[in-house]
Amino acid sequence: MKPFVVHSGITAPLNRANIDTDAIIPKQFLKRIERTGFGQYLFYEWRYRADGTPVADFVLAQSAYQDATILLAGPNFGCGSSREHAPWALLDYGFRAIIAPSFADIFYNNCFKNGILPIVLPDQSVQRLFEQVELRGSRILTIDLPAQEVRDADGTVYPFAVDAYRKKCLLEGLDDIGLTLRHEEQISVYETTAPFARSIVSSGV
């Protein structure tokens, strides 16, 4: 998993509440077994018409936001089903962070496991950021995870809270597999000695 330390990027404004996981990655695209390849289907039913042509006024179709790596959204982002494909699609598209007033719990947890930083800010702060991005055209935001700050183009700082353990994992780029592999030596020792120990027990020695 790629570490997240300090990230500056274009911010795409998606000012909608209750964006559910079926909107993020529609169910017809869940047949893939790999974690990659889902980015092309992100927000598919909002990005494309039935004939496959782009919806020109959708934010990700606009040239100013096509290289966005930060998503700014409304409250209760990621609600609905618990599909892990939703953060997979966001990450595969290129998003490293999502800023919203609130998140659905399971989606929020899945983001950390997949290298995405979900940032909860007060609704007033999020609305101010929407104004910066949409009305003033200041599309670049900087997210400083060590300092736990979001900084916009005019220098305004928005502090955010994050669990210390999750912060450490993101800073070091450790997902569940990476955390397990930190104990690879002990696991190897166990796998080597465990069969012998079990044979002794079963033989009654």
Listed by start position, the domains of the chain span 6-174, 175-205
Q: Taking the CA atoms of the chain, what radius of gyration do you get in angstroms?
A: 21
**pLDDT tens digits along 101-151:** 999 999 999 999 999 999 999 999 999 999 999 887 788 999 999 999 999
Candidates 83, 98, 72; CA nearest to 26 is: 83
Instruction: Identify the band that residue 32 occupies on the pLDDT scale cut at 50, 70 and 90.
Output: confident
| Rounded Cα–Cα distance for residues 60 and 43 (Å) | 9
- Amino acid identity of 12? A
What pTM was estimated for this model as a whole? 0.86
Residue 196 has pLDDT above 70, yes or no: no
Q: Is 78:95 a contact under the CB 8 Å cutoff? A: no
pLDDT band at residue 181 under the 50/70/90 scheme: very low
Would you call 194 exposed, middle or buried from its count of C-beta atoms within 10 A (0-12, 13-18, 19+)? exposed
Give the model's pLDDT for residue 191: 60
What is the rounded distance in angstroms from the CA atom of residue 89 to the CA atom of residue 91? 5
What does DSSP assign to residue 101?
S
CATH no. for 6-174: 3.20.19.10
| Percentage with pLDDT > 70 across the chain | 85
Nearest residue to 8 (alpha-carbon basis) of 73, 96, 112: 96
Give the chain's length. Answer: 205
pLDDT at 186 over 60: no
Mean pLDDT of 34-39: 89
Sheet containing 97-100: which strands, arranged edge to edge?
117-120, 97-100, 70-73, 6-14, 140-144, 149-151, 157-159
pLDDT confidence bin for 202, thresholds 50/70/90: low
In the block, which residue shows the tokens 């966005």? 68
Measured CA distances, 116 to 90, 110, 137, 197 (Å): 8, 9, 24, 42
The pLDDT assigned to 82 comes to: 85
Q: How far apart are CA 159 and CA 175, in angstroms?
A: 25
Segment 160-181 shows an average pLDDT of 83
Average pLDDT, the chain: 89
Percent of the chain clearing pLDDT 90 (strictly above): 74
